Structure 1
Amino acid sequence: MIFRDILLQLVIGTCFLPRLWNSGFHQNEPLSPKDDEKWFKQLEVFWIDYSPTRRWEWCKGYGQPVFGKDLTSKLIERVSFSEKGSNNKGIFTLQTDYTVGSGENVRTYPKQTVIAKLINHRLEARAACEVWALNHFGLLIEAGRITAEAQDTVGVIVMHKQPGKPLHDVEEWNTALDLIYRWIQEKGVVHADFDPDNVLVDIARNKETNAIRLEHFAIVDFGSPGVWLRRKVPSEQTFTTWFNARWDFLWEEVIEKLGHAPDPKQEQKTQRRRLRKIDY
């Protein structure tokens, strides 16, 4: 239960992209053809309004003329926030507060709460779906066009910046990676069983914002077959690649549970099993 709650808080606090592990602005590569096919195939269920013959064009808002308003003067003082993402030309923060409307309807948003996303020309029709979705969820400020580098006119979406960071960027994620790598170097063993039941955290919740902060992280359960002698110390890059793949594999069950209410009886069984497994 606690892991589901933590992950939901962390993921909801970032901007979704097609895969959970690349949530926020963490995605820097397009899906492979195989993954792309699987991603769409999973939408072919009776309760989702989706057409497999019109994959991209079926989303709500597709091709709508939402990028006509000139926002160039309002976004001159922008700073690069992230260049990652195959579907955009960069994410930017602002150096000045952002104002929309006029007269009695004027509204100003503090600069630290706003981000602007530049859109590739060839993807503007699809990006109109994002404009619709952001507006539907109350996250859109406005959309339009700006004259960017080399007099290139591109679409732009101005939206509310969400708190938090991608799961792979949280301190505890890096702590897990560093801890296991240090064990490999200093203890000569590999802990390969860091599944959700074996990752313990202390959390604190802000009563005003309801935000969750992870305060402490520990890996437990050193029983067979989770711990192995290492033959040699891998390079940091080699280890990181292995760790990321291993984490995604061991935490796959968490993704499957995110959309389902937990079974109280199963939660009790899991808790009892977790208590039996803890071995310091």
Structure 2
Amino acid sequence: MTNGITNLDVFTLPDHKHNRIKNRMIKIVNISEPSAACERYALQIFHEYFRTGFAIIDGQKVGVIITSMGGNGASSMRRTTWWKDLSLDHKSYALNSTRKVVQEMVFEFLLEGKPLYANFSPDHVLIDNNQEIHLIDFGYPGVRPMKLLPKPDEYEKWFQRRWYFLWEDVYREARAEIPVEHLWRKSEPERKGPTKMSPHMN
């Protein structure tokens, strides 16, 4: 996909599906980027793909990806009505419950042979009216293949470090406790670079 040239073929592939999806998310991608086509294939792997095409925006030709947003009324946690009405104690419980569910979902992906999903920031974890969780945004670099399945304890350590890194603002807003070892704003020794499963993946 040098210089994004083959992305043109990806976004002009015929699609004759007529799936009816109530909630859709539209994402605009730069087709000149070499990685633009990667998300389409990732969505197919995760069974979230719906349709791709082109659009002209401000005189520029861009790629358009249409995917499902999950269940009815799905939105990020902080935008739900029930979150605003929760007490601080219940917000802390909701955060930790959500963490456990997402942690299991992502590891289940790996067990199924799917790529590692590391895009679980607050805006990419949606909760519907039935309080079921849906993950969105399967684009590079937040989704990447894994050659080997990590050991459960290694995966748990990586996931929690990345979770608290991405969700720290939400925890602070809810005055929820963050384990000391996962506080990224504290003074830390300088790091030489990311590890193989570093929380800094995008």
**What TM-score does the superposition give when structure 1 sets the normalisation length?**
0.31
Larger Rg: 1
